[in-house]
Amino acid sequence: MPIKEIFVIRCISCLSVVLLHVLSLVLMLHAEQLAGISHTIDSFRTLLMFSTPAFIFISEFLLARSYPGGVPKGFLARRGQVIFIPFLFIAALDALMMASAAETGLTVSAYLEKLAQNVLLGNFIGYFILVIFQFYILHKFLHSFLRQASPKWVLTVSFLVTEAYLSYFTWVVTPEADAVFPFFWVPFPGWLFYFCMAYYCGKEYETFLAILDRYRRVLYSSAVILAALVVAVSYYGNIGMISSKRPDILLYSTCMICLFFHVFSKVRQVPKLIMTVSNYSFSIYLLHFYFMSIGYVVLSSMPAVPALLAVLVVFAASVIGPVLMSWALNKLRYGYLFVGKVYQPKGLERTADKRGIAG
């Protein structure tokens, strides 16, 4: 049976990503009005940066929980149908929209160039699917090694690799200022620690929860300290990007993931609204950017709309829109190929000592 914490964490991560992007949009729309506090808002937006790492962490956690001995035959092909075909469809749609919006207008060469960037470089909102698919491949080929290796050694080395990778692209070779989705976000070294940690946490789920409970005071105090640190770095430091792909976010995101597991392992029943958002989270994550873009166009012609109201309206539309679209398309036989499948859980684990299979 599925683990209940997963649904809550997936819901929180999904909504945090949407809120993060909506705040960015409203800051652009109300640049003059919010000029005095925009830097402060940006700094506190950093607190939402755990969202993408947590969302991607879940993918390997579930793999390790369900397939600790290795994935079954044909797994990659089946997962490709579920998440990679929707990735290709949205990549093509995004390329069409972006090429059409370009100053030069829509041309075949411009469309193909943008499509290649989307599919090969993850140059659009769906880049996270490329990361998840890399996790599938890593799990397939590394599970035997990870099962036999020392977790302390693996986690230490993977942390250093990921920290070095993120530091290099933060301090040495910084992405271009106008790069919305830099390619360095995609390769697995930037996510290796999350992968290794998720593997061991999923494989030894009960032990993981026991460790969190034993060190809960350290966990909670660390969460507060690291949250204050990332906000301070964003506010006072010279790091230009508000992104989860920063070296200081690695520990913060890890701490928040552990905190969520500890807190929500105590929940006896997941509310239906949270379950609904979680079940549609893939579609929300993949499609919200385009509903948000519609909101941007509409609000651009309505400058009198207050910033707070704009945030609420666009946020609601960016969540409800993808849910309705995904619900409608999943009613069709092959509709899931365009927006991904809606997850339908069969039951939830209620206690930490009850073993089961994560969905």
Helices (H), the chain: 4-29, 38-45, 51-66, 75-79, 85-101, 108-121, 127-148, 151-167, 192-203, 205-214, 216-236, 247-264, 272-279, 281-300, 307-329, 336-339
Which residues are bridge partners to 349 per DSSP?
Answer: 3
Query: Rounded to an integer, what distance in angstroms lies between the CA atom of residue 63 and that of residue 136?
Result: 8
Asked whether residue 342 carries a pLDDT value surpassing 70, the answer given is: yes
Domain range summary for the chain, segments of one domain joined by +: 4-339
Reported as a single tens digit per residue, the pLDDT across 16-51 is 999 999 999 999 888 888 888 888 888 888 999 999
Query: Rounded to an integer, what distance in angstroms lies between the CA atom of residue 118 and that of residue 116?
Result: 5
Q: What pLDDT score does 72 carry? A: 85
Average pLDDT (321-349) is 85
Q: What pLDDT score does 34 carry? A: 85
> Which of 65-74, 252-261, 329-338 ranks highest by mean pLDDT?
252-261
Asked whether residue 349 carries a pLDDT value surpassing 70, the answer given is: no
Q: What pLDDT score does 346 carry? A: 62
Predicted structure pTM score: 0.90
Q: What pLDDT score does 102 carry? A: 79
Query: Rounded to an integer, what distance in angstroms lies between the CA atom of residue 112 and that of residue 156?
Result: 42
